Amino acid sequence: MSSAALNEIIADALAGPGWIVLPNFLPAEALAELQNLASVRQAQFVAAGVGREAAHQVRQEIRGDAVLWVENDDAEMAAANQRMSDLQQLLNRELYLGLAELEWHFARYPIGSFYRRHLDQHRDQDTRVVTIVQYLNHNWGEADGGQLRIYLDAENHIDVTPHGGTLVVFLSNRFEHEVLPAQRERLSLTGWYRRRAN
């Protein structure tokens, strides 16, 4: 399926249930390129924190991943940034979401690490509108753990296997979610489209 057709499916899903999981979103070459880049830049990852600015702190009992933020003028990320920018424009055109920018990072979860249940909005700031996660792992199996558990409502959740090429998109203020303990190193690219603060 073309990337334009996939983007239309994502827009429809956000307008409907507010979330979608698309296996094989990333073409094989794009997946390989991103995996390679993450491995070349391995030494630049830093422990992820929780909370913003002065309240920011590393708390591994909440989240144990290490992240590497992506700059929007990163030449080696040009194709990936372009894919995200195409999707952003479509969501603005069709859903009037007023998405002003994308912030995103690679995230590496070492064996045994997790991210406790949370919402992707900081208590004092609600400019994150849409969450996008792309997985960069080879042959992920159920026994490898590390599923993304999304709480759809009080009774229901889904578990997403973080297999390479799979994309997850959801409305940031609607769905609590967590990363279950990973039994293998787990790599992803995670981002948020934000609107401007009022």
**Contacts with Mn ion, residue ranges (CB under 5 A):** 120
CB 194 within 8 A of CB 100: yes
Partner from ligand OGA, Mn ion, none binding residue 107, C-beta < 5-8 Å depending on class: ligand OGA
Give the one entry of Mn ion, ligand OGA, none that residue 190 binds, where binding means its C-beta sits below a cut-off of 5 to 8 angstroms depending on kind.
ligand OGA
Q: Please, what is the minimum distance in Å from the beta carbon of residue 148 to ligand OGA? A: 4
Q: Which does 136 bind (CB under 5 to 8 A by kind): ligand OGA, Mn ion, none?
A: none
Judged by beta carbon, residue 68 or residue 133, the one nearer ligand OGA is 133
> Strands (DSSP E) along the chain, which ranges?
19-22, 46-47, 66-70, 101-109, 115-118, 128-135, 148-151, 157-160, 167-171, 177-179, 186-194
> Nearest residue to ligand OGA, using CB?
148
In the bound complex, what is the minimum distance in angstroms from residue 136's beta carbon to ligand OGA? 10
Residues 38 and 74: beta-carbon distance below 8 Å: no
The residue among 21 and 95 lying less far from ligand OGA, judged by its C-beta, is 21
- Report how far apart the first and last C-alpha atoms of the chain are (Å, whole number): 38
Q: Which is nearer to ligand OGA, 8 or 50 (CB)?
A: 50
Q: What is the DSSP letter of 29?
A: H
Distance separating alpha carbons of residues 160 and 140, to the nearest angstrom:
11
Query: Using CB under 6 A as the criterion, which residues of the chain lie in contact with ligand OGA when the complex forms?
Result: 107, 115, 120, 133, 148, 177, 179, 188, 190
